[in-house]
Amino acid sequence: MLTEEQKKQIEIENEKIDKTLSDITNRIVVFSGKGGVGKTTISINLACGLKLKGHTTGILDADVTGPNVPKMLGVSEQLTISKNRIIPQEKYGVKVVSLASMVSEDQPIIWRGPMRSKLLNQFIGDVEWGNLDFLIADLPPGTGDEVITMTTKLKPEMAIIVTTPQAVSLIDSKRAITMAKKMEIPNIGLIENMSGLLCPKCGYNIELFGAGGGSEQAKEMGVEFLGSLPIDIETRKAADEGYPIVLQNDSTENSNAMMKIVERIENQIALTEKI
Amino acid sequence: MLTEEQKKQIEIENEKIDKTLSDITNRIVVFSGKGGVGKTTISINLACGLKLKGHTTGILDADVTGPNVPKMLGVSEQLTISKNRIIPQEKYGVKVVSLASMVSEDQPIIWRGPMRSKLLNQFIGDVEWGNLDFLIADLPPGTGDEVITMTTKLKPEMAIIVTTPQAVSLIDSKRAITMAKKMEIPNIGLIENMSGLLCPKCGYNIELFGAGGGSEQAKEMGVEFLGSLPIDIETRKAADEGYPIVLQNDSTENSNAMMKIVERIENQIALTEKI
């Protein structure tokens, strides 16, 4: 049972969250069943891609125990707090908030679920996000506390589920899609990442994780297929170096595919708003 | 505050866990900071490898929201319960327990931390593990509830941290090693997985995740380096098909490397027992 004091605190917290959300037009959660499928790489590229299209955009790193957004965006400064509010960092015109910008690099976050959820509530309600067209939340793998909290509190317009063509990843993404449906998220899209790998020298098709399976799964489960992204060493390197591939001058197959997904997201959300 | 009834239940639960653990000589937890680094593939191969060496072995799938152990071991039957005790399945001579063997394939596990921890306590105390030389627990990525519960309750002799050579993975594995140290696990070992990729046709060195970094990190952080495993399409396919690579007749570079790691684990643990 909650005490009166605790109830009052939750009420204040929820009011702050609602106030923040009223200035953010579209919220998108990016998640997956399996880990290591490229959620963060895709999240930072979508955020930068939406910014390129002229939208004000923010990215919230909701992977509390493995926060990699700052590294992949090349943000190394610590977050600042002003008048009890967290001030997002800004990189490539995108606002960024992550726990990685509050702790040192080797510090493990040994926190149980309730504490992680409390932090995520603060990352919505206590952050000066300001007016945003899009806020992208990069979630940890699985369907645990962070995913439950973010899909409940953020009330997202869209869930993007990332999978690879690997059998175990497709099983896990099925679970993730079912969860998004249960949470009644209005738009659900699937991306097949790490789809196929051609040897950069001889062009041989290397079946690392296989290819295909994503579009059939999307059809079978009645969700939007947003596109396939090939395995691309440049995209991985760009992320490791903190410089997302969509921002680099030479447009590659992968950055073009990423921008096409950005356009599909714009269309999908515009369509929902018309209804 | 807990009621008397709740306190009594926790006491009973802990007694059951202690009783089970008294029959299990060595407990090993396998975890990582980042997801998708190959924890489960390595866990099933280590379990089968230890069995090949003549040890009685079990594997506990502690990735509650993304349980992939049964798929990778080719176990498709449901778990049975007899006299209020869970009977582990047996595959390739290894005992297996996973939530995936209790729910359907597309069912998401939308559980917050306390419930996931309660299940894991049951997966120790309520399972007829019997006498085991080794119990391997395959944990989810990060340093959240499952990892805290398993390292606390299982009192492992050894923690194995899996990383890839990718910069973001090395950052996350640093956090995982620091956690294992804080939890005072006596033996900590690091495996570098997905290390290097040669084109199967022309032999070109494809820098997918890069290579190296693991052994330096192990030295720097004062933990045992257990070895590198190359990216290997056969290993991935074998796991997708439920037939671990170490059990296949043609010994490949990867299955040999995996068995060398098994021997290092045997030596490491034998060494601790002598002290």
pLDDT, tens digit (0-9, with 9 covering 90-100), for B81-134: 999 999 999 999 999 999 999 999 889 999 999 999 999 999 999 999 999 999
- Least Cα distance to A45 among A272, A269, A270, A256 occurs for A256
**Largest Cα–Cα distance in chain B?**
69
User: What pLDDT score was predicted for residue A233?
Assistant: 86
Contacts of A253 (CB under 8 A, 6+ apart): A230, A232
Q: What residues of chain A, 185 to 244, have a C-beta less than 8 Å from chain B?
A: 197, 199-202, 204, 206-209, 231, 233, 236-237, 239-240
**CB pair distance less than 8 Å for B202 and A202:** yes
Phi, psi of B198 (to 5 degrees): -100, 135
Cβ-based contacts under 8 A for chains A and B: 201
Write down the residue that tokens 């790998």 correspond to: A197
**Largest Cα–Cα distance in chain A?**
69
Whether A121 has its CB under 8 Å from any CB of chain B: the answer is no
- On the question of pLDDT at A271 being above 80, the answer is no
- Residues of chain B with confidence (pLDDT) below 70: 273-275
**CB pair distance less than 8 Å for A168 and B112:** no
- Least Cα distance to A36 among B209, B228, B241 occurs for B209
**Distance (Å) from the C-alpha of residue B234 to the closest C-alpha of chain A?**
9
Work out the mean pLDDT of chain A and round it to a whole number: 94
Question: What number is the average pLDDT over the span A118-129?
Answer: 97
**Chain A residues touching residue B204 (CB < 8 angstroms):** 199-202
Q: What residues of chain A, 24 to 83, have a C-beta less than 8 Å from chain B?
A: 33-37, 40, 63-66, 68, 71-72
**Spatial separation of the C-alpha atoms in residues B100 and B40, rounded to whole Å:** 13
User: What pLDDT score was predicted for residue A266?
Assistant: 96
**CB pair distance less than 8 Å for A233 and B168:** no
**CB pair distance less than 8 Å for A112 and B113:** yes
- On the question of pLDDT at A273 being above 70, the answer is no
Of all residues in chain A, what percent carry a pLDDT higher than 70? 99
Tokens of A150: 């973010």
Whether A174 has its CB under 8 Å from any CB of chain B: the answer is yes
Cβ atoms B140, A104 nearer than 8 A: no
**Closest-CA residue of chain B to A172:** B66
- Least Cα distance to A185 among A219, A215, A217, A150 occurs for A150
**Spatial separation of the C-alpha atoms in residues B221 and B218, rounded to whole Å:** 5
CA distances from A115 to A84, A98, A199, B145, B185 (A): 19, 15, 45, 11, 24
Phi, psi of A111 (to 5 degrees): -120, 140
Identify the three-state secondary structure at position B137.
Answer: strand
Contacts of B89 (CB under 8 A, 6+ apart): B70, B75, B77, B79, B95, B96, B97, B101
Select the residue from A2, A43, A68, A183 to test the B interface by mutation, using most B Cβ atoms within 10 A: A68
Residue B32: HSE in the Cβ half-sphere, 13 Å Cα cutoff = 29
Query: Which has more confidence, A253 or B267?
Result: B267
Instruction: ipTM value, please give it.
Output: 0.91
Question: What number is the average pLDDT over the span A94-109?
Answer: 95
**CB pair distance less than 8 Å for B168 and A142:** no
**CB pair distance less than 8 Å for A209 and B236:** yes
